[in-house]
Amino acid sequence: MSDNKKKRFKKIKGNNLWITIIAFVLIAVVFENLFVFTVKSFSLYIVESRFISEYDIVNVMTNMYDNNSDDADKAYKMLDEGNRDYIVCDKSGKILHSKGENTCSDEGALIRTSQSKEEIQVYKDSERGYVYPEDDKLALDFLSFRDWISEDVVDESSITMEAHEMDDDIESGISFVQDSELISLPIWIAVDLDGGEKVLKVKALLNSNAGDIILLVEIVGIMAIIVVAILIYMLVKAIMSFVRQRRLIRLFYTDPVTGGSNWMWYLYKGERTLRKRSSAGKSFALIDLTFVNYRNFCVCHSVSEGEELLKRVYNLIISDMNKKEICAHISSANFAILIGFDNEEELKYRINNMFRRLEKTDEHHKLCFQAGITYVVPVINSKGKAVRRKYINIEEEYNKACTASATLTDSMESQFAFFDDRLIEEQKWMDIVHENQERALANEEFVVYYQPKYDPVTNELKGAEALIRWVSPIFGFVSPGKFIPLFEKNGFITEIDHYMITHVARDQKMWLDKGMKCVPVSVNVSRAHFIESELAEQIRDMVDAEGIPHDLIEIELTESAFFDDKNAMIETINRLKGYGFSVSMDDFGSGYSSLNSLKDMPLDVLKLDAEFFRGKNEDNRGEIIVSEAIRLARSLNMRTVAEGVEIKEQVDFLASEGCDMIQGFYFAKPMPKEEFEGRMKS
Ligand code: C2E
Ligand code: MG
Ligand code: MG
């Protein structure tokens, strides 16, 4: 597929899906982080405010001790009445007194809370160290969050009690609540006693009550709802955009007439199929199928009926295909097909079979199809393995199928043609000729050569045929076989015929003016030209413009031309004869309806085709036909010219049979006018 088409396809296809998925993931990550951050910040806020309360309690305990510092036992007794576990140790760390289980770990640090600027020494609880100091701040171990909840959640009755009890405790500074809290997170707070002689480490319980939890749950819930709503919205959007994109792609590849595949699909899917590794060992045929009489059908019926028929044709084609094969309707009457095959015979059989089925698509009309075919076969490497056709370009390959199509003739019978590398050369030459024809004509690059016609008995010069040559400054000397058929196809032959008649008449005029005895010169007039209604008058005017007698010009018609409109042809011949021109039938015997043509056409000259004088003539059959043809012509008052005579025996034979003239290499090849002038003089 060309880069341009790929770009167009990408534009339609877009990267919406990937962009949406990436955006979706990014937003989900952002929301997730935001969510975690909020929950963490809120939890830490609660933990920190509880910590401050606990620190106040520790301060109360410190005061109680200080007030009784002269009687340590009494002080400990008072502290024991509270429900906080604690230890008192000396400077060396030796425990002097403790209450409850000592779970204070060595892991600790100085922290600062946002509400109090002073530094507080804390230690992690060795059993349930969910709260720990980190970078002089309190941190929470969220990984153990689930354990934390399950371990600490208590029954509802304790939750209802908790709020006022907590307040009371703090106010009194003596009694502490633990069981009524929903979540209790321990951390040890250390303060100096006795001016730094001792250290009091109190197990602070950072409790969260139901209010905190409900608030947290509410925040989490609301955030979760918002996040989920946004994510659902985005998901729905992404799905919708995905569905829309799929629809767009389908539309991009769908042919509006048949509802099947279109050219873009053929290029995309076809190229993928050809390039696939699994296809390396397989042969594929690319077919340019034309529904020949589609236009006629539309003219006789209607475009919509025509399109309905195309749809049926398309369905018939795909009904005979397997999944990997492709058929696409690419323009009004054309289908592009890609099918696999094993050998050429099988392929031909399949195409003929397809033709037979398609011809019967409409029961009231016989439809006609043409197919140009090219195929790609496995590429085998030096190890004998089929290699992947990685770089094959389906457009280029399909173009070959179209080139093969262009060689097919106008016919109402279905037919196909295979691509051949020579066709490319021919096509290129055709284009070159087409591009250069006008300029060549204007520059008079076309030159008239004359091939003399001689009397076989007297060897006297009796006439000549004017034959065109293209003497091109670019391509050199080009013989008519290389360009006349192309001019006949592209219509330029009419200009050439006019050019030749004018130039021959001009040369004749020049020779007459020189006082020479001129002979009639025959000019080939193409079949395409001959059915023009005014042809006889055009020729007359051209000859008159040069001012020569009409009997010096003879008009040659090829036998195949007689298949066209017979009445128009008879009419033109009669008018030409009426103006005094001779008319001859060229290449008599090369076609298959010559005798029939002779019956109706009032011709003057019969030119026996060169083929009569080619090849072996073991039992004289050729000679019999030639002598009978000469006799027939004489009976019909026609003169005979034998073309392509190369040897003396043929000349002697033709002389004995009464052939009027001989045009062949035996006497002379076609020659430039100067040389012919010399022959006329001699
Ligand atoms: P044609 O009109 O039948 O011309 C006779 C062809 O036979 C000429 O080929 C001539 O050179 C060739 N020929 C004559 N004698 C012999 C022979 O003894 N041996 C062999 N091997 N060939 C011989 P040429 O000139 O190549 O022309 C080919 C065809 O091109 C002509 O066949 C004619 O159909 C067409 N053509 C040539 N000039 C013109 C023209 O000015 N207008 C049109 N419409 N067609 C032309
Ligand atoms: Mg001729
Ligand atoms: Mg001829």
Say yes or no: 569 and 594 in one domain: yes
Where does a domain end: 388, 419, 450? 419
Ligand 1, atom 22, lies closest to the CA of 644
Verify that 377 and 443 share a domain, yes or no: no
Ligand number, closest to the Cα atom of 556: 2
User: What's the pLDDT score for residue 560?
Assistant: 59
Q: Tell whether 369 and 464 lie within a shared domain.
A: no
Same domain for 446 and 398?
no
Walking along the chain (682 residues) 10 residues at a time, the average pLDDT comes out as 66 65 81 82 84 90 88 89 90 90 90 79 89 85 61 42 40 41 82 89 84 79 86 85 87 94 95 94 96 91 93 95 93 95 94 95 89 94 90 94 89 91 86 94 97 96 97 94 91 94 97 95 87 88 97 86 72 94 92 72 93 78 90 95 95 96 97 96 84
Tell me if residue 559 falls in helix, strand or coil.
helix
Helices (H), 68-190: 72-81, 145-152, 156-172
Measuring CA to CA, which residue among 543, 588, 5 is closest to residue 263? 5
Predicted local confidence at residue 14, as pLDDT: 58
Q: Whose CA is nearest to atom 19 of ligand 1?
A: 644
Residues 469 and 320 in one domain: no
User: Is residue 369 in some structural domain?
Assistant: yes
pLDDT at 23: 78
Supply the pTM of this predicted model. Answer: 0.59
Q: Tell me which of 524, 535, 558, 585 to substitute to probe ligand 1's pocket, judged by most ligand atoms within 8 Å of the beta carbon.
A: 524
Looking at the fold, whether 434 and 565 belong to one and the same domain comes out as: yes
Instruction: Point out the ligand nearest to the CA of residue 607.
Output: 3
Say yes or no: CB of residue 488 within 6 Å of ligand 1: no
Question: For residue 563, what pLDDT is reported?
Answer: 57
Tell me the torsion sign for CA atoms 337, 340, 344, 348: negative
**The last residue of a domain, from among 419, 439, 454:** 419
546 ligand 1 Cβ < 6 A: no
Task: Say which ligand is closest to the CA of 494.
Answer: 1
Q: 459 alpha carbon to ligand 1 midpoint, in Å? A: 21
Ligand with the closest atom to the CA of 555:
2
Beta carbon of 553 within 6 Å of any ligand 1 atom? no
* 178 falls within a domain: yes
Provide the 3-class DSSP secondary structure of residue 199.
Answer: strand
Range of the domain at 443: 428-681
| Residue 533 CA to ligand 2 centre (angstroms) | 22
pLDDT of 517 reads 93
Q: Give CA–CA dist 291/311, Å, rounded.
A: 12
Q: Which residues contact 416 (CB under 8 A, 6 or more apart)?
A: 287, 348, 351, 355, 370, 371, 372, 373, 408
Nearest residue by C-alpha to atom 46 in ligand 1: 524
Residues 148 and 90 in one domain: yes
Q: Who surrounds ion ligand 3 at CB < 5 A?
A: 586-587, 643
Query: Residue 373's domain is classified under what CATH number?
Result: 3.30.70.270
Region label for 291, one of left (φ > 0), alpha (ψ between -120 and 50) or beta (otherwise)? beta
Q: How far is CA 365 from the centre of its chain?
A: 35
26 lies in the same domain as 131: yes
Q: Is 484 in the pocket of ligand 1 (CB under 6 A)?
A: yes
What pLDDT does residue 166 have? Answer: 40
Please indicate whether residue 644, judged by its CB atom, sits closer than 6 Å to ligand 1: yes
588: which strand partners?
608
Whether residues 415 and 462 share a domain: the answer is no
Element (H, E) at 299: helix 294-300
What's the gap in Å between 498 CA and the centre of ligand 2?
Answer: 15
We report the CATH number of the domain holding residue 546 as: 3.20.20.450
589: Cβ below 6 Å to ligand 1?
no
Looking at the CA of 477, name the nearest ligand. 1
Q: Is the C-beta atom of 665 inside 6 A of ligand 1?
A: yes
The reported pLDDT for the residue numbered 151 is 53
Reported as half-sphere exposure (CB side, CA atoms, 13 A), residue 244 has a value of 11
Q: What is the pLDDT of residue 3?
A: 67
Whether 477 is covered by a domain: the verdict is yes
610 CA → ligand 2 middle, Å:
11
Of the residues 467, 490, 559, which should be mutated to test ligand 1's pocket, given the most ligand atoms within 8 Å of the CB? Answer: 467
Q: Which residues of 11-28 are buried (b: 16+ CB within 10 A; e: fewer)?
A: eeeeeeeeebeeeeeeee
The rounded Å distance from CA 163 to ligand 3 centre is 124
Judgement on whether residues 326 and 298 belong to the same structural domain of the protein: yes
Q: CA 298 from chain center: how many Å?
A: 30
* Total domains, the chain: 3
Of the candidates 389, 203, 181, 162, the residue with the CA atom closest to the CA atom of residue 283: 389
Q: Report the atom number in ligand 1 closest to the C-alpha of 558.
A: 34
Ligand 1 lined by 183 (C-beta under 6 Å): no
DSSP H or E stretch at residue 65: helix 16-67
Does ligand 1 have an atom closer than 6 angstroms to the CB of 500? yes
Nearest ligand to the CA atom of 466? 1
Q: Tell me how far the alpha carbon of residue 485 lies from the centroid of ligand 2, in angstroms.
A: 14
> What CA–CA distance (Å, rounded) separates 529 from 536?
11
> Which atom of ligand 1 is found nearest the CA of 646?
18
Of all protein residues, the one whose alpha carbon is nearest to atom 41 of ligand 1 is 468
Structure tokens at 498: 């006019």
Residues 392 and 457 in one domain: no
Say if residue 169 is in the same domain as residue 313: no
- Name the phi and psi angles at 589, rounded to 5: 100, -10
CA of 615 relative to ligand 1 center, distance in Å:
19
pLDDT at 13: 60
- The alpha carbon of 466 and the centre of ligand 1 are apart by a number of angstroms equal to 9
The answer to whether the CB of 326 falls within 8 A of the CB of 338 is yes
Domain boundary (387, 419, 451) is at 419
258 in a domain, yes or no?
no
Distance CA(387)–CA(401), nearest Å, equals: 23
Residues 6+ apart with CB under 8 A from 88: 76, 95, 96, 97, 98, 193, 198, 199, 200, 201
Q: How far is the CA of 524 from the centre of ligand 2 (A)?
A: 5
Residue 504, ligand 1, Cβ within 6 A = no
Check residue 559 and give its pLDDT: 62
